[in-house]
Amino acid sequence: MGYTFFAIQVVLKTYPGDNLRARLHQIITTSPSEVSLVEKRAFYKSLTSVLNEGMASFERGFWDLIRGRDAERQFETWCSEIEGSIATEPEEIDDVADELHRISNEKEFVIASLIFLLEEGSTSDDILAARCDMPEREYFTRQTFGNLLGAIPALSFATVKADAVYLVPGTDQDGLSSLDLAEEGYAYLRLLS
């Protein structure tokens, strides 16, 4: 059986007094690790709904759809690279913050990443393929990211082999600055129109 890899990352600008980051963090951290297919759909419906509420604050992003032999490797690579860059446990936080050498104390951005490995040729694969089939000039617009996020709750999670969600940085208080995002590790993220 072949697989399809789909990932979407969106950089959201947060503002003093808004609770977007806290709401996303709460949805992710309060979800149990083992859930039924119905609960998984409810989780993604809640998460993508909150993300799309913040569509006006989408600053940068990246998405990819890969079918075939490279799909599993892409899933593993994305997950391991993101996990290696975030701290979620109290004992890790100071070490990772020191390692990042944040240039600025501004914490105005957060990156949400949703990553999937699903059965190639399944209904879920067809749903994502249809949403990703667009002219290249539309690849990096806020509307496209909203449409792609909106497809996720429609997936048949029985055909999803693996999935992962990350919020970077990994705490509800921390964030990235525009200077942090200008560093080489984030160069692949495209400005959204």
Cα(171)–Cα(94) distance, integer angstroms: 12
Give the pLDDT score at 88: 52
Q: Walk along the chain (193 residues) and give the pLDDT tens digit of each residue.
A: 799 999 999 999 988 778 888 899 899 989 888 889 999 999 999 999 999 999 999 999 999 999 998 999 999 999 998 888 775 555 554 554 444 444 446 788 999 999 999 999 999 999 999 999 999 999 999 999 999 999 999 999 999 999 999 998 766 667 888 888 888 889 999 999 9
Residues 6+ apart with CB under 8 A from 149: 8, 10, 48, 51, 52, 114
- Dihedral-angle region of residue 56 (phi above 0 means left; psi in -120 to 50 means alpha; beta otherwise): alpha
* pTM score: 0.88
Residue identified by tokens 């990932």 is 7
Neighbouring CB atoms inside 10 A of 14's CB total 19
Give the pLDDT score at 138: 96
Give the pLDDT score at 170: 65
Q: Are 18 and 130 in contact (CB under 8 A)?
A: no
Give the pLDDT score at 98: 46
Give the pLDDT score at 87: 55
Residue identified by tokens 């509420």 is 53
Give 103-136 as a DSSP string. S-S---EEEEEEEEEEETTSHHHHHHHHHH-S-G
Q: Where are the beta strands (DSSP E) in 14-137?
A: 58-67, 109-119
